[in-house]
Structure 1
């Protein structure tokens, strides 16, 4: 069944990720919003606290690009952000605040490979970044709304574990901040977390074979947050706003193997750690002030080769370009490995991404550049793989008449 197209969509049937609706602040959402489109058609119509109905656009995302939809919140409250692919497309959704921090992330919680994030947002501007899970071209709807408004997706489907979406503290194992616990889902899947003073917290559930799902409930049993597939198939919930004192319930469900141990950790929210994790995944570019390791390659004059032993955490390089042209960056696995490449300009805007090229597991970026500094990250697609990768950097200049 084809979903109805909103009024905002009627004025622009396809919102291409590379074409901004209006000039944006280059640093909005850590650079992710520079080419974003207002979901309501313009900024004034994109405040989901006051709109009569949901706001929505349909986006065509090509290759390894992403669509970024912009919206604002004028009143603190609970909101729903969703993405649903057409023709079986598998969407991945990240919601960033104006500083670029991810406040919600989801892959499949909308059901049928759609994404759905229901979260508490404070007043401000937000970016909803939508991409295809496997990098293939994708046409999808992106919708932002209040919780009381019509949803785009069917919602969270019952996983293979058969969880009922509730949290019974009578069977919960207590969590201690900073102390991981590991249990198979079949023997323990409910945990309690006591907070004595207001505190911002982070929760993780890790084991990709289990493909865990995390859900957090407040002391009254009300749903607070949910996540599936934050880092690979692992899950994470970041409650950046301090939670009131009380006993919280943490439910773990799964899509995978019920017999393997799932490591559950609760710890105090650390904004600096969140940022470092973004750099390690290549989801944001690090600063060039020496606070995060970036190897400077100097001027990219013609051709440069670099070998690196890399795992699931990105290794970063920077290089200088003094005149416009074309830059080619290639990552070639030397034996085992599946390298991923991502490239940013010096303002933190992603200008290139590639995983598999020309039927192989190697990666290739071809990016038109202007004079400036560029950063390139290379990592293994599989967090459990470590292997040598040969990097090739080449610069081409336009032909002169």
Structure 2
């Protein structure tokens, strides 16, 4: 009976997939793909039922956008806001469930922030946030009703004070230091390598450990141009790192690069001079965080993407991929999946149709699934299937070879994971 219910669900998905690829969250004209529920799940993202505003931290990479997903169960007056950190200048676009754009805003929140207030009818919505000039940006996105606390002052309000000793009342500390505080090299008292130029040490790397309460800013100096990687490790602290030049100009920021650890890769060489790393923790600022500065290694960075399941490895044998062979109808495979490195499997599809993949741990783990074609294009992604931490992914596929990555999201987990692969083809007239 369970198989019949799954088959019926896949058949319905195939009808939808005739017009567009089917994903776990396919609405707003495709803008929902890769989006995040603003309340953590669809059930907790209903603005009409929320007792307070809902907020997420958004990391927007070069030329990309962040998409917050939410629902409205009853007609509601809603406020939508995005506030960038440092010189970040966010732009917001609101899409309804069909993909029609309802509104856009750039600076109505004041001080470069975005803000819009509108009445929304019941349905699902997508709030897309991008950087005005396409540069990387970190900021906050807040969605709530008009009676909820606002994130931004609004374009008609006076600018908020920026003195770090007089923070905005009720605001939370921002990554990289106190509110309004940035890292000017003149204020740094602790340097990696005791202040010497680190060029000769980058190959092996320079490592120091301290809590953000002890050392909120680490300085370092380069005598020659160098591409560098900066990591911050301790998932119990959930570190955030921000890189500034010697004048306090924001260069880059990262929160969750690998699990809750953070990493910044400066692939373009930094010029000679002094730099500052701001360190903060979203969980516990008293926890020690290990900071490591090393030379950027493009090959190691590529392999790290494979290890995290974020990019498909080549099928030339240079990276371990288990070949499952031809997916005729139904296939089962058991693996030990971990959070340290994704397990990669490949399979062949003989003709166009629908593929369903499930990762089941029966509550023992939190598996993630990512599906790619043999060219390396991401076809589908799923983390939590409904109210379960297990994953289920449905995708429309053509004839060819596909790769799937399986990885646990919990820290230090190694879990027996049962994988189910099923293929469905359209009914013949």
Q: Which runs of 5+ in 1 are unaligned?
A: 1-17, 21-57, 68-85, 121-136
Residue 387 (structure 1) aligned with residue 402 (structure 2): no
Alignment correspondent of 2:192 = 174
Cα–Cα, structure 1 residues 314 and 171, in superposed 2: closer, same or farther, change >3 Å?
Answer: same
Cα–Cα, structure 1 residues 223 and 59, in superposed 2: closer, same or farther, change >3 Å?
Answer: farther
SS at the partner of 1:248?
strand
Cα–Cα, structure 1 residues 218 and 281, in superposed 2: closer, same or farther, change >3 Å?
Answer: same
Alignment correspondent of 1:340 = 368
Equivalent residue for 1:353, pick from 381, 399, 407: 381
Residue 145 (structure 1) aligned with residue 132 (structure 2): yes
Give the distance between the partners of 1:106 and 1:180, measured in 2 at CA: 35
Cα–Cα, structure 1 residues 253 and 377, in superposed 2: closer, same or farther, change >3 Å?
Answer: same
Deviation at 1:262, TM superposition (A): 0.5
Give the distance between the partners of 1:395 and 1:145, measured in 2 at CA: 42
CA contact (8 A) 1:183 1:263 kept: yes
Alignment correspondent of 2:398 = 370
CA contact (8 A) 2:366 2:390 kept: yes
Alignment correspondent of 1:235 = 262
Residue 159 (structure 1) aligned with residue 187 (structure 2): no
SS at the partner of 2:61?
strand
Cα–Cα, structure 1 residues 291 and 301, in superposed 2: closer, same or farther, change >3 Å?
Answer: same
Alignment correspondent of 1:281 = 308
CA contact (8 A) 1:205 1:236 kept: yes
Cα deviation digits, residues 204-234 of structure 1 (max 9, x gap): 1122222222122223443322222333332
Deviation at 1:390, TM superposition (A): 0.7
Task: Decide which moves more: 170-179 or 280-289.
Answer: 170-179
Deviation at 1:361, TM superposition (A): 1.4
Give the distance between the partners of 2:291 and 2:81, measured in 1 at CA: 25
Residue 88 (structure 1) aligned with residue 54 (structure 2): yes
Deviation at 1:356, TM superposition (A): 1.5
Cα–Cα, structure 1 residues 278 and 200, in superposed 2: closer, same or farther, change >3 Å?
Answer: same
Cα deviation digits, residues 264-313 of structure 1 (max 9, x gap): 11111111222222222222211112222111111111221111111112
Give the distance between the partners of 1:236 and 1:381, measured in 2 at CA: 17
Q: Which runs of 5+ in 2 are unaligned?
A: 1-18, 22-27, 37-46, 48-52, 69-79, 89-123, 141-150, 153-170, 194-200
Alignment correspondent of 1:199 = 226
Alignment correspondent of 1:258 = 285
Residue 293 (structure 1) aligned with residue 311 (structure 2): no
Deviation at 1:157, TM superposition (A): 6.4
Cα deviation digits, residues 183-223 of structure 1 (max 9, x gap): 12222222122212210111111222222221222234433
Give the distance between the partners of 2:357 and 2:420, measured in 1 at CA: 6
Give the distance between the partners of 2:125 and 2:310, measured in 1 at CA: 20
Deviation at 1:340, TM superposition (A): 0.9
Aligned residues: 303
CA contact (8 A) 1:106 1:115 kept: no
Give the distance between the partners of 2:220 and 2:372, measured in 1 at CA: 39
SS at the partner of 2:299?
helix
Higher strand share: 1
Larger Rg: 2
Alignment correspondent of 1:245 = 272
Give the distance between the partners of 2:291 and 2:125, measured in 1 at CA: 33
Cα–Cα, structure 1 residues 170 and 159, in superposed 2: closer, same or farther, change >3 Å?
Answer: closer
Give the distance between the partners of 2:227 and 2:234, measured in 1 at CA: 24
Give the distance between the partners of 1:106 and 1:290, measured in 2 at CA: 36
